[in-house]
Structure 1
Amino acid sequence: MPNRLNEKVAVVTGIGSGMGRAAALLFAAEGAQVVGCDLNEENSRTTVAEIIASGGSAVSLQPCNPSEPDEALALIDLAYRSYGQVDVLYNNAASVHFAPIEDMSIEMWRATMRGELDIVFNLCKAAWPYLRQRGGSIINCGSVSGKMAYEVLPAIAHSAGKGGVIAMTRQLAAEGGKYGIRANSISPGLVRTGATARRIDDPDWFAPMKRKLMLNGQVGTPEDVAYCALYLASNEAKWVTGADFAVDGGTTAW
Structure 2
Amino acid sequence: MNKDSRASCGPVEGRLAGKIALITGVGSGQGREVALLFAKAGALVIGCDINADGLAGTQDLARDMGVTLDLSVVDAADEAKVTSWADATAERYGGIDVLYNNGAGVHFAPFADMTLDQWHDTLRMELDTVFIPSRAVWRHMIARGGGSIVNIASIAGMRGSEVIGTAGPAAHATGKSGVIGFTRQLATEGAPHWIRVNAISPGPIFTPAVEQVVASSPEFRRMFDGMSMLSRFGFPIDVAYTGLFLASDESAFVTGANLTVDGGTTARTGASFLR
- Contact 1:139/1:233 (CA < 8 Å) preserved in 2? yes
**What CA distance in whole angstroms lies between the structure 2 residues aligned with 1:253 and 1:222?**
20
Q: Which residue in 1 is equivalent to 2:81?
A: 71
Which of 46, 50, 68 lines up with 1:57 in the alignment?
68
Is 1:231 matched up with 2:241? no
**1:61-210 maps to which residues of 2 (within 5 A)?**
61-62=72-73, 64-134=74-144, 135-151=146-162, 152=164, 153-201=167-215, 202-210=217-225
Per the normalisation by structure 1, the TM-score is 0.95
* Alignment: residue pair count: 252
- Runs (4 or more) in structure 1 with deviation over 3 Å come to 52-55
2: CA distance, partners of 1:212 / 1:193: 15
Q: 1:49 to 1:210 in 2, by over 3 A?
A: closer
How far apart in 1 are the matches of 2:92 and 2:214?
40
**Alignment partner, residue 260 of structure 2:** 246
Per-residue CA deviations over 1:233-252 (Å, capped at 9, x if unaligned) read: 00000000000000001110
Instruction: Tell me, in whole angstroms, the C-alpha distance in 2 between the residues paired with 1:148 and 1:252.
Output: 8
- Separation (CA, whole Å) in 2 of partners of 1:129 and 1:148: 34
Which amino acid counterpart does residue 168 of structure 1 have in structure 2?
A: F
Alpha-carbon distance, 1:51 to partner: 2.6
Structure 1 residue 26 corresponds to structure 2 residue 37: yes
C-alpha distance in 2 between matches for 1:28 and 1:78: 19
Which residue does 1:13 correspond to in 2?
A: 24
- Aligned residue in 1 for 2:7: none
SS at match of 1:76: helix
Paired with 1:53 and 1:208, the residues of 2 have a C-alpha distance of 36
Shift of 1:205: 1.5
Percent sequence identity over aligned pairs: 43
- The alignment yields a C-alpha RMSD, in angstroms, of 1.4
TM-score when normalising by structure 2:
0.88
- How far has the Cα of 1:194 moved from its partner? 1.2
- Letter aligned with residue 196 of structure 2: R
Distance across 1 between alignment mates of 2:52 and 2:117: 26
- What CA distance in whole angstroms lies between the structure 1 residues aligned with 2:228 and 2:161? 12
**Given that residues 32 and 57 in structure 1 are in contact (C-alpha distance below 8 angstroms), is that contact kept between their aligned partners in structure 2?**
no
In the aligned structure 2, how far is the partner of 1:204 from the partner of 1:18?
Answer: 23
